Structure 1
Amino acid sequence: MYGNVAIDGPAGAGKSTAARMVAERLGYIYIDTGAMYRALTWKVLNSGSRWDDEEIIRLAAVTKIEFSLDEQGGLQTICDGSDVSREIRERNVSANVSRIARIAGVRRRMVELQRRMAAQKPVVMDGRDIGSFVLPDAPHKFFLIASLEERTRRRCRQMEEQGIDFDRSQVSADIKARDEMDRSRTVAPLVQAADAKLIDTDCLTLHQVVALIIKEIRGE
């Protein structure tokens, strides 16, 4: 075993897909931390709850978030027993998830769950603060980046494949706004850990990115 793997980066940099493939190659558990925050955001949006920090923290404490594989081997995000994999990728969730994620009490709850998962067995975990905050002692850390144009193209393609309506200019604006919120939040902002390997994915295929990460982990 090579130990836990932390993969961070901004929205649309390709970290989730790469992390999932790396986990498969290593035989590790894949933890999509972004999906955890999205699932809670989806619950808040559909619960009729007040947009009050204390109320959202209370919801986070009683929300059960799990991951499972569908019949095709795809990762499913389960929130309180319901598969919300498609719903958490809709624009309304994307536009509000950073607002939820910057609440200190919410992050404490999610980090508690994430660290508990990583303590049980080796994981590949992706997010925005994994290497810098959630798993600072992870022996393998990576920070993926890509241009705004490329990230917009990827997100639009993803939404198209999922049958979600979108406006390209709005998707770009949403990603840019989320970048700013993620980098400026007080608690565990988006930042590259000092010992994380930087990978620019603009001109790389997904398989090339995965190959680079695997090679680095194995010390080849």
Structure 2
Amino acid sequence: MLNKLYDWVDERLDITPIWRDIADHEVPEHVNPAHHFSAFVYCFGGLTFFITVIQILSGMFLTMYYVPDIENAWQSVYYLQNEVAFGEIVRGMHHWGASLVVVMIFLHTLRVFFTGSYKKPRELNWVVGVMLFGVILGLSFTGYLLPWDMKALFATKVGIEIAASVPLIGGMIKVLLAGDSTILGAQTLTRFFAIHVFFLPAALLGLLAAHFIMIRRQGISGPL
């Protein structure tokens, strides 16, 4: 059945060359765990992407129930976790995945640095990777406030004050994140929700596309 569907689509769109270009490429021997035990360090990038996909899918589910206003945000999270079927599992995946993806991208960045994979001709890909790291951290920071409990409120307040201490642009960053009010309120929650759900994911997808295109063109970097 799937073969017939593939043939039907391929006959109309000629997708086989595209699929072969993506999937059929040599994997260097030094990233094969069967030949080199240290090859597992080359898995950090793929694991980061895998967890990112889980974060996107679970986040899409959470937005079906989350209400981004200060009157109903906490109640909507409580309802999702305690009343919705499998809601606690999905929220748990998103919660722990948010921490795990930061750990994995950090390990991936360390691997790239210590194996010298940021050097010519991969300098631009290193820049894109660092930007991806920043976007992931931004997603973690903006998502922390969304449950709208006391822990999230005070932690976010500290984070905004740290951002406000940046020379020259600190005040603008604070207004961007918190709004015009001097206290965290409805504007803050709405802005964090918009940044977390729309702006940063758009940047994430664009940077991931650029990252993968460059990896495909340049290939996997060699060993240390």
TM-score using structure 1 length: 0.24
Of the two structures, which has the highest relative contact order with CA contacts closer than 8 Å and spacing of 6 or more?
1
Greater helix share, structure number: 2
Select the structure of larger CA radius of gyration. 2
More strand by proportion, 1 or 2?
1
